[in-house]
């Protein structure tokens, strides 16, 4: 179990791996996530299930190296084993027939958006997808998203792919030209906050997928608590999907920063060790 | 015969000034000689009241007699008839409320009771070091049972049923088994190598433990029911309660579950060797008065906090924590604010905790638990400066599994309804015990429930097999 069957580097810091996990492959639904621990010293980190292959009993994960835990995962090759993979966790996305849906993904959040795009298309919706990233090489899963969307719009900050601008600019245009029944926005918290504002300006309900700090991922610690509609919710068991308009964004963004110092120190120390290790080879 | 000492044989402990800087075990335990000295204090009562007061009814005079005679193998044999986790119970049971509370020696004027827990621990530690592994049973398998949750209750059922000749699989949601023994109770009270060894000795009986299996998610209850002859639910009471006062979402506010899980399960105290971070807190306030509050406060001190204080709404007299742990905490410079309750967490303006606003309480009339109910003294507000606050105000039932199993009858608090004499639930073949039935209680009560359930599960499966023989 947990053997990596395939891996590829998508960009400088983004990696795509397939892992043997037959039970999760069988049960995982769009919107659900896993808790992954690279080795016995590692943290437990949440990663979304991007895709599943029931026949082969494998699941796809895409992650961006932002700290020590993801840096460690990035060193793993096909044939290596991940110490712990637990899931599927969280409540699945609310996939059903809405009519026309607009899906917005930013950066590595596209990985979490893709299974929902696919699910909504299979459920018979007309699907419009907006993908956004800083630059061309960070627009992941383009072909996959295109294959399950009726229309695909790409936005980059530097204009190296699609149009130059923010995903919210593209959202405004779509809302202005046609009626959207439901929107999803998944990406950096600041992006989700602004997408929520744009969607609610146009009276379109919007789901977001929150990615707070988690430890167990099964509702036993409350580390991932968020304020939704003025009450405490645990993103790991009550979410990760919530209505964007009900999320207390400022608080959520603040809580994401809790371990910034420790995380930076930990990564720097790891990179130094890796370099020292490399030099002695 | 020499006169019995009035006092218990002294136990060796780490010095408070040293131990408050490390996570090593505080109590160092008896050696054989000290154990024999203590064992000689036992009166060997005919109708020993200590047995009645032990939730798993260990033959206490029996194993103590063997210690006195220096026959540790015999002492261990006696213990193993009754308990699967003696090294753990010897350490964490509130003996002062159980076996030791009715010790006849202790009831004599000016005498301390026999140190039963310390003696149990001595035998168990000896056994973990010296005993050969029990060979895996090869007799025909009576039936297959699943145990959901690998805490003390589940491990007890697993051990007992494996000894009876059942094929037992334990499913654990986390990456390491043990439940609260692993993620909750800190190293300085219960070393994890002891927990691992004790779990390994249960695996040697032929029990399979599968980690990273979240029942209700990874495997459904339908699948469990289809594959096994019976199942035991022992998922504990692991959903943290928050008081819900203003400021709960500030950075620096933790549930005790999160704080202790980071430290114990994830080895946060060994950051950055282990990757899960803990904060370098300076001033810590712990809310609550149970064992969990003591554990959190003493852990915070060991992580290097300058000041750690406990805020408790009642007084020392009502403190639910073990008195030994309270004394240990005082020796380690933990401060106490009795009759105090938090009303708000204050922010430094950057989303971080800066202080805890509290009120003073007075004790009023006794409530339904018989303890005097604390009432707020008007105008008594004051603030304790703090960068970290840990709420240890109790846990509720985790709904992850229960929400996927609507057939199961729950009580009004969300716990599973189970017959206390058999552990049977509303669903045939499904038994339950431990904190998921009683709400947060003690390790030994969870084990006691496991003993009861194991017996009736064995009967249930045998009866079922008689009517529908395996083809």
What whole-number distance in Å separates Cα of residue B457 and Cα of residue A169? 63
Q: Which pair of tokens denotes residue A40?
A: 């016995």
The angle, 0 to 180 degrees and rounded to 10, between the axes of the packed helices B72-82 and B60-68 is: 170
Residues B240, A220: C-beta atoms closer than 8 Å: yes
Per-residue model confidence (pLDDT) at position B424: 96
Mean pLDDT value across chain B: 93
Which of A52-56, A222-226, B398-402 shows the lowest per-residue confidence on average (mean pLDDT)?
Answer: B398-402
Between CA B33 and CA B44 the distance in angstroms is 19
Residue in this structure with the two tokens 């020696």, named with its chain if needed:
B105
Q: How far is A165 from chain B (nearest CA, A)?
A: 31
H or E segment at B241?
none
Kindly state the tokens that stand for B48. Answer: 């020993």
Residue B266 touches partner A, C-beta closer than 8 Å: yes
Which CATH superfamily groups domain A4-89? Translation factors (2.40.30.10)
Q: How long is chain A?
A: 281
Residue-wise pLDDT tens digits, B98-145? 999 999 999 999 999 999 999 999 999 999 988 766 655 667 788 999
Count of CB contacts below 8 A, A vs B?
Answer: 111
Tokens at residue B409, please?
């009858």
d(CA B284, CA B387) in angstroms, rounded, equals 6
Q: What pTM, to 2 d.p., does this model score?
A: 0.94
- Neighbour tally for B123: CB within 10 Å: 28
Q: Could you please report the per-residue DSSP string of A157-190?
A: TTSSSSEES-HHHHHHHHHHHS--SEEEEESSHH
Measured between beta carbons, the chain A residues lying within 8 angstroms of B249 are: 225, 227, 232, 248, 251, 255
Closest of B54, B107, B298 to residue B189, by C-alpha = B298
For residue A20, CA distances in Å to A55, B247, B261 come to 11, 43, 28
Pairing of strands A4-9, B353-366: unpaired
**How high is the ipTM of this complex?**
0.94
Mutation target among A222, A225, A267, A273 for the B interface, most CBs of B within 10 A: A222
Q: pLDDT for A10-22, tens place per residue?
A: 999 999 999 999 9
Q: What are the tens digits of pLDDT across the range A175-203?
A: 999 999 999 999 999 999 999 999 999 99
- CB-based contact A262 B271, cutoff 8 Å: yes
- Topology at the third CATH level for domain A100-256: Rossmann fold (3.40.50)
Instruction: Check residue B135 and give its pLDDT.
Output: 57
Contact flag B214-A219 (C-beta cutoff 8 Å): no
Q: Alpha helix (H) ranges present in A86-128? A: 110-122
Is any Cβ of chain A less than 8 angstroms from the Cβ of B173?
yes
Asked if B274 is an interface residue toward chain A (Cβ–Cβ < 8 A), one would say: yes
Chain A positions touching chain B (beta carbons under 8 Å): 23-24, 27, 37, 41-44, 68-69, 72, 83-89, 215-216, 218-223, 225, 227, 232, 237, 248, 251, 254-255, 257-259, 262-263, 265-266, 269
Strand B144-148 and strand B230-233: pairing? parallel
Angle at B453 between CA B451 and CA B459, to 5 degrees: 110
B19, pLDDT greater than 70:
yes
Contacts of A39 (CB under 8 A, 6+ apart): A72, A83
Distance CA B36, CA B58 (A): 19
CB contact under 8 A, B218 and A44: no
How would you classify the pairing of strands A51-53 and A126-133?
unpaired
**Closest to A68 (Cβ–Cβ): which among B175, B254, B275?**
B275
DSSP B175-190: SSS-THHHHTS-TTTS
Q: Are B58 and B85 in contact (CB under 8 A)?
A: no
**Distance (Å, whole) CA B442 – CA B148:** 18
Secondary structure class of B98 (helix, strand, coil): coil
What is the CB neighbour count within 10 angstroms for residue A11? 16
DSSP 8-state symbol, B407: T
Find out whether B308 and B300 touch, Cβ atoms under 8 Å: yes
**Chain A contact for B95 (CB, 8 A cutoff):** no
Contacts for B251 with CB less than 8 Å, ≥ 6 apart: A254, A255, A257, A258, B351, B352, B353
Contacts of A72 in chain B (CB under 8 A): 275
Quick one: tokens of A242?
Answer: 């919530």
Angle at B378 between CA B374 and CA B382, to 5 degrees: 90
A145 marked as part of a ligand binding site: no
pLDDT class of A254 with cuts at 50, 70, 90: very high
In the DSSP assignment, the letter for residue B417 is: P
End-to-end CA distance of chain A: 31
Residue A263, pLDDT score: 87
Q: Is the previous residue joined to A4 through a cis bond, with omega within 30 degrees of 0? A: no
d(CA B422, CA B264): 33
Instruction: Decide if B341 contacts B313 (C-beta within 8 A).
Output: yes
Q: What is the pLDDT of residue B3?
A: 76
Residue B271 contacts A where some CB pair is shorter than 8 Å: yes
B244: closest CA among A217, A276, A222?
A: A222
At B222 the three-state DSSP class reads helix
In this prediction, residue B467 carries a pLDDT of: 62
Burial A54-79 (b: 16+ CB within 10 A, else e): eeebbbbbbbbbebbbbbbbbebeee
Q: Do B273 and A87 touch (CB under 8 A)?
A: no
Q: What is the longest distance spanned by two Cα atoms in chain B?
A: 75
Confidence label for B468 from pLDDT (cuts 50, 70 and 90) = low
Summarize pLDDT for B320-358 with one digit per residue, the tens.
998 889 999 999 999 999 999 999 999 999 999 999 999
Tell me how far apart the alpha carbons of residues B293 and B280 are, in angstroms, rounded to a whole number. Answer: 19
Minimum Cα–Cα distance from B388: chain A residue: A258
Let me know: does A24 contact A84? Beta carbons within 8 Å: no
Indicate whether B471 pLDDT > 60. no
The pLDDT > 90 percentage for chain B reads 81
**Rounded to the nearest 10 degrees, how much is the dihedral formed by the CA atoms of B352, B355, B360, B364?**
20
Check CB contact of B273 with chain A, cutoff 8 Å. yes
User: In the structure encoding, which two tokens stand for residue B268, read together?
Assistant: 């946060």
Lowest pLDDT segment from A147-161, A254-268, B60-74, B208-222? A254-268
> What number is the average pLDDT over the span A66-79?
93
CA-based torsion, A57, B430, B164, B174: positive or negative: positive
Q: How many CA atoms lie within 13 A of A259 on its CB side?
A: 23
A274 is in an annotated binding site: no
pLDDT tier for residue A281 given thresholds of 50, 70 and 90? very low
- Could you tell me the CA-to-CA distances from A225 to A253, B49, B217, B287, B406 in Å, in that order? 12, 47, 20, 19, 26
**Neighbour-count burial of B131, counting CB atoms closer than 10 A to its CB (0-12 exposed, 13-18 middle, 19+ buried):** middle
Domain boundary assignment for chain A: 4-89, 100-256
pLDDT digits (tens, 9 = 90+) for B415-445: 999 999 999 999 999 999 999 999 988 888 9
Q: Which member of A86, A225, A248 has the closest CB to residue B214?
A: A86
Average pLDDT in the A95-103 region? 97
B266 neighbourhood in chain A, CB within 8 Å: 43-44, 215
Q: How many helices (H) and strands (E) does chain B have?
A: 18, 16
Tell the burial category of A3 from Cβ atoms under 10 Å away from its Cβ (0-12, 13-18, 19+): middle
Distance from CA of B139 to the nearest CA of A (A): 30
pLDDT tens digits along B260-288: 999 999 999 999 899 999 988 999 999 99
Contacting residues of A for B244, CB less than 8 Å apart? 232
Bridge partner residues of B424 (DSSP): B431
- The pLDDT of residue B288: 97
Interface probe with A: pick from B276, B292, B390, most Cβ of A within 10 Å: B276
Residue A195 labeled ligand binder: no
Phi, psi of B165 (to 5 degrees): 100, 25
Q: How far apart are CA B174 and CA A14, in angstroms?
A: 27
Kindly determine whether residue B249 and residue A251, on different chains, have CB atoms separated by under 8 Å: yes
The answer to whether the Cβ–Cβ distance between A266 and B218 falls below 8 Å is: no
Distance CA B433, CA B450 (A): 6
């Amino acid at each position: 179990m947990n053997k990596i069957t395939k891996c590829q580097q998508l960009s400088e810091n983004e990696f795509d791996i397939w892992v043997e996990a037959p039970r999760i492959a069988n049960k995982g639904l769009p919107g659900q996530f896993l808790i992954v621990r690279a080795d016995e010293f590692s943290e437990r980190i949440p990663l979304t299930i991007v895709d599943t292959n029931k026949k082969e009993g494998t699941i796809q994960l895409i992650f961006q190296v932002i700290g020590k835990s993801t840096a460690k995962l990035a060193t793993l090759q096909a044939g290596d084993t991940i110490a712990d993979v637990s899931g599927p966790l969280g409540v699945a996305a609310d996939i059903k027939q809405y009519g026309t849906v607009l899906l917005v993904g930013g950066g590595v959040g596209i990985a979490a958006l893709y299974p929902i795009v696919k699910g909504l298309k299979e459920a018979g919706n007309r699907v419009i997808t907006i993908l956004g990233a800083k630059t061309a090489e960070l627009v992941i899963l383009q072909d996959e998203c295109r294959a399950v969307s009726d229309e695909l719009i790409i936005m980059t900050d530097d204009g190296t792919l699609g149009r130059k601008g923010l995903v919210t600019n593209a959202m405004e245009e779509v809302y202005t030209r046609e009626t959207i029944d439901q929107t999803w926005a998944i990406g950096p918290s600041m992006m989700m906050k602004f997408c929520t504002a744009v969607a609610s300006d146009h009276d379109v309900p919007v789901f977001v997928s929150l990615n707070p700090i988690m430890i167990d991922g099964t509702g036993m610690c409350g580390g991932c608590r968020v304020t939704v509609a003025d009450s405490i919710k645990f993103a790991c068991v009550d979410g990760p999907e919530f209505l964007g308009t009900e999320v207390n964004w400022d608080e959520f963004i603040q809580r994401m920063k809790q371990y910034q110092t420790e995380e930076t120190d930990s990564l720097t120390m790891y990179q130094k060790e890796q370099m020292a290790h490399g030099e002695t080879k | 015969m020499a006169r019995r000492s009035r006092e218990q044989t002294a136990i060796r402990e780490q010095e408070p000034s040293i131990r408050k800087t490390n996570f090593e075990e505080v109590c160092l335990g008896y050696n054989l000689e000290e154990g024999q000295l203590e064992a000689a204090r036992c009166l060997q009562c005919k109708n020993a009241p200590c047995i009645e007061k032990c939730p798993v009814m260990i033959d206490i005079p029996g194993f103590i007699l063997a210690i006195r005679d220096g026959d540790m193998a015999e002492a261990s044999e006696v213990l193993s008839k009754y308990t699967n986790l003696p090294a753990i119970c010897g350490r964490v049971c509130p003996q002062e409320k159980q076996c030791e509370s009715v010790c006849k020696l202790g009831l004599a004027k000016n005498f301390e009771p026999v140190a039963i827990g310390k003696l149990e621990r001595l035998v168990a530690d000896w056994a973990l070091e010296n005993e050969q592994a029990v060979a895996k049973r090869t007799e025909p398998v009576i039936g297959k049972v699943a145990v959901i949750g690998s805490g003390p209750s589940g491990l007890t059922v697993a051990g007992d049923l494996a000894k009876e000749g059942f094929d037992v699989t334990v499913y654990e949601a986390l990456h390491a088994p043990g439940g609260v023994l692993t993620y909750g109770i800190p190293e300085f009270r219960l070393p994890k190598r002891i927990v691992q060894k004790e779990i390994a000795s249960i695996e040697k009986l032929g029990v399979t433990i599968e980690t990273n299996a979240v029942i209700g998610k990874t495997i459904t209850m339908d699948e469990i029911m289809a594959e096994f002859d019976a199942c035991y639910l022992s998922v504990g009471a692991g959903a943290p309660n928050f008081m819900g006062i203003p400021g709960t979402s500030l950075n620096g506010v933790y549930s005790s579950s999160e704080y202790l899980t980071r430290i114990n399960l994830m080895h946060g105290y060994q950051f950055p060797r282990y990757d899960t971070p803990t904060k370098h807190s300076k001033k810590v306030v712990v809310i609550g008065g149970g064992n969990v509050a003591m554990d959190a406060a003493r852990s915070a001190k060991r992580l290097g906090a300058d000041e750690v204080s406990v805020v408790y709404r009642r007084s020392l007299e009502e403190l639910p924590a073990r008195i030994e742990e309270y004394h240990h905490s005082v020796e380690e410079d933990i401060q106490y604010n009795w009759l105090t309750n938090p009303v708000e967490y204050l922010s430094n303006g950057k989303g971080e905790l800066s202080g805890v606003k509290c009120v003073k309480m007075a004790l009023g009339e006794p409530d339904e638990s018989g303890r005097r109910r604390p009432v707020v003294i008007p105008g008594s507000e004051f603030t304790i400066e703090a960068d970290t606050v840990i709420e240890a105000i109790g846990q509720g039932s985790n709904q992850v599994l229960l929400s996927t199993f609507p057939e199961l009858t729950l009580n009004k608090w969300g716990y599973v309804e189970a017959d206390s004499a058999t552990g049977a639930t509303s669903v045939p073949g499904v038994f339950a015990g431990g904190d998921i039935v009683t709400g947060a209680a003690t390790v030994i009560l969870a084990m006691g429930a496991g003993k009861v359930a194991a017996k009736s599960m064995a009967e249930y499966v045998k009866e079922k097999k008689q009517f529908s023989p395996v083809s």
